[in-house]
Structure 1
């Protein structure tokens, strides 16, 4: 007889989770369905939500020429907030998509369609995560608090976007990169044009990586009528992804230039500007490795975008040290 002890459906594991993750191995058993609902077993989403926040605070500090103790708190608070709000957002997404998820091979093992968590339990879990995240948001200035609250509109709309537009990745980008604006405002108390360009660069980046991600589900999406840029672009995906890559790099570089145009240390500008190009190099490497017909490669490249975002953040941090 075949060994079924490792089947995701039997152990409650989600099919596209990182193998051997901490949720499936060391987390208390009673917490696992809720942690899976928050995607704690798939940390890449938290990284992709967090990294624009770190870009925002680091570039704002470069723009203002100052970095203090409160900026360290912004970095820590954004990490905690990203984990919580990504969890709350994914919970909301799974509540609204529970019937669709049950029809897609990759998602039918998620906690709600697989019966691990009830809808009522998911709503309570979403509320708890949101309340803790809101408590963290209250440590910032009023302008940042209002920005944070306003982002909830985008979070609420996103799960429905694939039902009415071929561009749901745009709505994901609008929501996932809001942290660039929020962290900039937390440091500066207001927004400047470089923050807006940083936000737009993040949206282009999201279109890049989430289109790659969406290629995992094109067959199932076509059968149940779910829209995505992967289905829209089809065989022309390489051209579109190249365009998103170029747009993201260009916007990042422009944001850096506008932030540092009045700084007298040329080495700061050189190092900070190297960030967008190193970021672009990593995206180009992904393009060379991409096979849209291979779901495993698509998932691996999607996860690799954590490194893309960290590369840009690292160059900003080095420039700030100077």
Structure 2
């Protein structure tokens, strides 16, 4: 599948084949494709998987444990994990193909497979197409409604890498792209399809539509926060190459913007809780835990230090995302236990 780009494009001398970790288990010819999928960087899988899981839990809570039993939720959650892994891999492949010239000018990214010439752009497109076909096949096996909603989601995936060329706010586009998984996760439960596609339940119980919108906005705000922090790793290179980002546009007032997004995120989570009629556990874990994590992250991080930005992106994303997830899980489990008693 791979072929040389040009004799004038040489792999940087600093690149060495992996000798440890999961990438070292692959044959040498497979390593560049495994690198394209970011198999060795699992944080990105979580930020794509969580919206799917949030959508699934939201609908499960809204409909109730009588119709959506825990065994069904766990089975669907596993399928969505596989779906998220494939989509994340495809998205990374597409980003590398579109951005390989920019990546060559970015210190952190210049050893990526397409940028260093280990995979040609054409081969990357073929690899991306295969991944997308697998993604659609998995969704088709779950529900037709999820496929219908996945199509515009794929359009967002294709558009996102170009956003930095035309706007200083590509993180907003990324936020909508990731949050779209909430809608897809909401229709893998057959009873939830009518609600998410704006029929049936949405007409009878409009406050649930408000809840879905609140969850959507919360995840967009959260994406802006963690991806802005992520973007500060490449601030100097982005300034030289001229690409847009919130990190560049708000470099001198970034923490003020991050605090505003944190307020929007927590407020949206509170609105979500009110729409679902959740118990105190959701407000403690989902809202309170997220608020504490966000404040700690924004207060302590030094955005001028790329290593700190990388650390907070990796661990802060997991911590705050886990709080939101745990709040939803606790509420669903609590309703299930109340039903059993």
**TM-score scaled by structure 1?**
0.89
CA distance in 1, matches of 2:62, 2:282: 11
Following superposition, the deviation at residue 8 of structure 1 comes to: 8.6
Task: Give the one of 153, 158, 161 matched to 1:156.
Answer: 158
1:270 to 2:280 alignment: yes
SS in 2 for 1:9: coil
Following superposition, the deviation at residue 235 of structure 1 comes to: 1.5
Aligned residue in 2 for 1:4: none
Give ranges in structure 2 of 5+ residues lacking alignment: 1-11, 197-208, 335-341
Q: Which runs of structure 1 show a deviation greater than 4 angstroms over 4 or more consecutive aligned residues? A: none
CA distance in 2, matches of 1:132, 1:194: 31
SS in 1 for 2:29: helix
1:319 to 2:324 alignment: no
Aligned residue in 1 for 2:171: 169
1:296 to 2:302 alignment: no
Following superposition, the deviation at residue 111 of structure 1 comes to: 0.5
Q: Is the 8 A contact 1:181 1:196 kept in 2?
A: no
Residue deviations 1:204-229 (CA, integer Å, cap 9, x gap): 10110100011111111111111110
1:30 to 2:41 alignment: no
Query: How do residues 16-95 of structure 1 correspond to structure 2 at under 5 angstroms?
Result: 21-23=21-23, 25-66=24-65, 67-68=68-69, 69-95=71-97
Q: Is the 8 A contact 2:37 2:92 kept in 1?
A: yes
Aligned residue in 2 for 1:279: 290
Query: How do residues 128-139 of structure 1 correspond to structure 2 at under 5 angstroms?
Result: 128-139=130-141
CA distance in 2, matches of 1:177, 1:21: 31
Q: Is the 8 A contact 1:12 1:109 kept in 2?
A: no
Q: Is the 8 A contact 1:98 1:112 kept in 2?
A: yes
1:11 to 2:16 alignment: yes
Change (3 A) 1:218 1:10: closer
Q: Is the 8 A contact 1:59 1:256 kept in 2?
A: no
Task: Give the one of 310, 316, 320 matched to 2:322.
Answer: 310
SS in 2 for 1:11: coil
SS in 2 for 1:42: coil
Aligned length: 303
Residue deviations 1:63-118 (CA, integer Å, cap 9, x gap): 21123243223211211111111111111111111111011111101001112212
Following superposition, the deviation at residue 271 of structure 1 comes to: 0.8
Aligned residue in 1 for 2:227: 210
SS in 1 for 2:185: helix
Aligned residue in 1 for 2:203: none
Aligned residue in 2 for 1:265: none
CA distance in 1, matches of 2:115, 2:289: 41
Change (3 A) 1:156 1:252: same
1:120 to 2:122 alignment: yes
Q: Is the 8 A contact 2:15 2:111 kept in 1?
A: no
Give ranges in structure 1 of 5+ residues lacking alignment: 1-6, 14-18, 261-267
Q: Is the 8 A contact 1:12 1:111 kept in 2?
A: no
Following superposition, the deviation at residue 280 of structure 1 comes to: 1.8
Following superposition, the deviation at residue 20 of structure 1 comes to: 5.1
1:243 to 2:260 alignment: yes
